[in-house]
Structures are given as C-alpha cells and as structure tokens.
Amino acid sequence: MKNVVLMGFMGAGKTTVGKMLAGAEHYQFIDTDEQIEKEQNRKISDIFDQDGEEAFRQMETDYLRKLEAEQRPFVLSIGGGMPVREENRELLRKLGIVVYLEASKETIIQRVSGDVNRPLLQGGSLEEKVTALMNAREAVYLETAHAVLNTDGDTAETVIKKIKDLL
Ligand code: S3P
C-alpha cells in the first residue's frame, strides 16, 4: 500500500478512520493537528487565539514539507483547512493517495456540535458556519483528491474497506 492522505471537512472521520487503517496495515498514523500541537506545546485553539489563523496555516505548510522526508509508510490525517493553500494541495498529492472522505452537512453538524476545540466553528450559528466553509472548500477538496468516498451512514469499518478497495 502507498501512503494514504485522509482529507475532508472537520468531523468527516479522518482521525478515527486513519488510526484504524494505520493499525490494520502496520503503518504509522500521523495527524497534522496533533503534530502541530506537540511542536507548539499548545492547543490549536490557543494558536488561533494568540497568533491567528494565518500563522497556523504556515505551521501546516511547514509540517507538510517536513513530511516529505519521511521514509516509513504512513496514513496521514490532515486538518480540514489544509488544502486551501495551493502549495499544500501540491504537497499532499506528492505525499500519497489523497482520499476525500465526503460527508453531508447534516452528518458533519451532528458530529461537531458541542465541540469547543475547533476555533472556526465557535460563536454564532453552527449551521451557517459549516455551510459557508463547506461551500468554500468543496472545490479545493475535489481538486486535490485522487479519490472521493461518500461516507454518510457508514461505520469506520466500512469506510476502511472502501479505502482498501481503492488502493
Ligand atoms: C480546521 C480543521 C481542524 C484544525 C483547525 C482548522 C479547518 O482540523 O486543523 O481547527 O480549517 O477546517 P480537523 O479537520 O481535524 O477538525
């Protein structure tokens, strides 16, 4: 199996599915949010509060560049905003097979409601925020993906099976 990059909106299941897939394939599991939090020794919400979104986006790009040197195979789960930068889109496609885990707005809202750790979804109407961001991102996800999987109603096991069938 080649490296797998799991891409999708917040709450699409990238981390859950990624961990399980990596475990099953004896690949290392890497989550960009987790790595950035470790490097920075602070939460993403604090990075956004203290340094702003643009600084976080630069950290994401810097981290992807580091990953180019990674020798051991991996399943990578990326933050939902990662593909918004063009240079990231190119880097992601070089790193592995980019799988877009697509989920409906209803599924996403259900999964992220009550979450206080995603700065872009705090305050105001969750539905409006999710709708605006999803609309803005759909095209970049489609442009970046090598493959698109709809995951509505699927268990993590089913999604993993679908990914394996692609590879
Ligand atoms: C973001 C998604 C988050 C995290 C940050 C910004 C985004 O990751 O990187 O809160 O812009 O969509 P998840 O997609 O893992 O929630």
| pLDDT digits 0-9 by tens, 118-142 | 999 998 899 999 999 999 999 999 9
Which residues of the chain, if any, have pLDDT below 50? none
- Residue appearing with tokens 């990674």: 70
**Alpha carbon 2 to chain centroid distance?**
18
Q: Which ligand 1 atom is nearest residue 133's CA? A: 12
- Please tell me the distance from the alpha carbon of residue 167 to that of residue 152, in angstroms, as a whole number: 21
Cα–ligand 1 centroid distance for 70 (angstroms): 23
Quick one: which of 138, 145, 139 has its CA closest to 166? 145
Q: Whose CA is nearest to atom 9 of ligand 1?
A: 79
Predicted confidence at residue 32, as pLDDT, reads 98
Q: State the helix-helix crossing angle for 86-95 and 53-67, rounded to 10 degrees.
A: 30
Q: Which ligand 1 atom is nearest residue 81's CA? A: 11
Tell me the β-bridge partners of 6: 77, 99
* Nearby residues of 161 by Cβ (< 8 Å), 6 or more positions away: none
Cα–ligand 1 centroid distance for 8 (angstroms): 9
Residues within a 6 A CB radius of ligand 1? 10, 14, 33, 44, 79-81, 118-120
Cα–ligand 1 centroid distance for 1 (angstroms): 26
DSSP assignment of 104-167 equals -HHHHHHHHTT--S-GGG-SS-HHHHHHHHHHHHHHHHHHH-SEEEE-TT--HHHHHHHHHHH-
Predicted confidence at residue 133, as pLDDT, reads 96
Predicted confidence at residue 46, as pLDDT, reads 96
- Please tell me the distance from the alpha carbon of residue 141 to that of residue 107, in angstroms, as a whole number: 17
Predicted confidence at residue 114, as pLDDT, reads 86
Predicted confidence at residue 167, as pLDDT, reads 84
Q: Whose CA is nearest to atom 15 of ligand 1?
A: 79
- Please tell me the distance from the alpha carbon of residue 151 to that of residue 57, in angstroms, as a whole number: 27
